[in-house]
């Protein structure tokens, strides 16, 4: 560990083999909490490379018992967090809209780390289980187009990092790699990031991880979601090529709304917002989800343009398909709880 820390402190990048060896030692318990904290801090100060990101992700995924779950054309739309916007759970709500449009979504998420309410917090409040087994995930992806993978449950080997991250209370490399560590082999992905300068690097990391197609977004106001507040910055990975562009909500028929209008609150507050959106209640929350679900569908290649993808998202909500995906996931969770009790 000492030699790795010295390299990072000296602003030297770690090789893929070095970062993989370091991560393996951390997961296997051969590194102290103080060393892990030093590693995470030094790496953040130096700045991560695509090779370091991909190397860490590959080790984390290889240690998950859920690794190898495979459903054709599956995607995720998880954001990095860390933008301090206190927005409602945008990507979690959008995931049901994407699933309602017919695209399987392996929704990977956690409890709150640097925000008020994480995806796991709001889904748990809605009645979704946080302890699906691998076979449950496969069944839900096949029958319902969406399943939830609670990060601590599917990545038990990352426990050595959990307390350190909580104690630090600051965004670390895990805020960047969390959405990449989904143990399901993703074909496509929408990735929101709170740092605009990280867009090209994360697109290159996604390329190294084998994504067929992906979209990385930093929203107006530096949100880790697409925002209605103004110009959004995006990078598209398609057929191995990386292209940068910007998108204003008015370009896809959506209004301009300040980020303050989409703030959330407790798990109960955000659960209510999610249900309102999936019921099609008009307002900034709905429009924000339409934009982000549209980008998710575009990232998947479900439609040729973002405007067309936004309309697919609108149809998913208006038809009731998006809400049905949530209701089915809750019903399935209750069924599993009943089986355990009996």
82 is in an annotated binding site: yes
Four-point Cα dihedral 86, 141, 173, 195, nearest 10? -50
10 is in an annotated binding site: no
112 is in an annotated binding site: yes
Give the C-alpha separation, 310 to 3, whole Å.
49
115 is in an annotated binding site: yes
Q: Could you please report the per-residue DSSP string of 53-92?
A: HHHHHHHHHHT-TTTT---TT-EE--B-------B--HHH
Six-digit token string for 81 = 């967090």
114 is in an annotated binding site: yes
90 is in an annotated binding site: yes
83 is in an annotated binding site: yes
107 is in an annotated binding site: yes
Length of the chain, in residues: 342
Cβ neighbour number for residue 245 with a 10 Å cutoff: 10
87 is in an annotated binding site: yes
Give the C-alpha separation, 214 to 101, whole Å.
18
Contact present, 154 and 132 (Cβ < 8 Å): no
Cβ neighbour number for residue 320 with a 10 Å cutoff: 14
109 is in an annotated binding site: yes
182 is in an annotated binding site: no
Six-digit token string for 178 = 């969390």
89 is in an annotated binding site: yes
Q: Which residues participate in the annotated binding site for Mg(2+)?
A: 91, 224-225
Q: Which residues participate in the annotated binding site for anthranilate?
A: 79, 110, 165
Q: Which residues participate in the annotated binding site?
A: 79, 82-83, 87, 89-92, 107-115, 119, 165, 224-225
Q: Which residues participate in the annotated binding site for 5-phospho-alpha-D-ribose 1-diphosphate?
A: 79, 82-83, 87, 89-92, 107-115, 119
């Amino acid at each position: 560990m000492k030699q790795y820390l010295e390299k990072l402190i000296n602003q030297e990048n770690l090789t893929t083999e070095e970062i993989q060896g370091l991560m393996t030692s951390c997961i296997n318990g051969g590194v102290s909490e103080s060393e892990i904290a030093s590693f995470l801090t030094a790496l953040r100060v130096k700045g991560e490379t695509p090779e370091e990101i991909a190397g860490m992700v590959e080790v984390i995924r290889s240690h998950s018992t859920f690794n190898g779950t495979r459903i054709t054309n599956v995607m995720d739309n998880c954001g990095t967090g860390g933008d301090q916007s206190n927005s409602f759970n945008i990507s979690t709500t959008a995931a049901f809209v994407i699933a309602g449009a017919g695209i399987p979504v392996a929704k990977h998420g956690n409890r709150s780390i640097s925000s008020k309410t994480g995806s796991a917090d709001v889904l748990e409040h809605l009645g979704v289980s946080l302890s699906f087994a691998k076979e449950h995930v496969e069944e839900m992806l096949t029958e319902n187009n969406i399943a939830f993978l609670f990060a601590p449950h599917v990545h038990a080997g990352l426990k050595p990092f959990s307390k350190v991250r909580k104690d630090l209370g600051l965004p670390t490399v895990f805020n960047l790699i969390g959405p990449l560590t989904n143990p399901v082999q993703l074909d496509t992905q929408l990735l929101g990031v709170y740092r605009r300068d990280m867009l090209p690097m994360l697109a290159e990391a996604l390329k190294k991880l084998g994504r067929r197609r992906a979209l990385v977004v930093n929203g107006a106001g530096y949100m880790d979601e697409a925002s209605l507040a103004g110009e959004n910055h995006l990078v598209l990975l398609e057929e191995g090529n990386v292209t940068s562009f910007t998108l204003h909500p008015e370009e896809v028929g959506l209004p301009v709304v300040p980020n303050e209008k989409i703030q959330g609150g407790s798990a109960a507050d955000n659960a209510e917002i999610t249900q309102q959106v999936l019921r099609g209640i008009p307002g900034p929350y709905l429009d924000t989800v339409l934009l982000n679900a549209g980008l998710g569908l575009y990232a998947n290649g479900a439609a040729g343009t973002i405007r067309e993808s936004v309309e697919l998202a609108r149809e998913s909500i208006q038809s009731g398909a998006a809400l049905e995906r949530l209701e089915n996931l809750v019903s399935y969770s209750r069924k599993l709880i009943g089986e355990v009790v009996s």
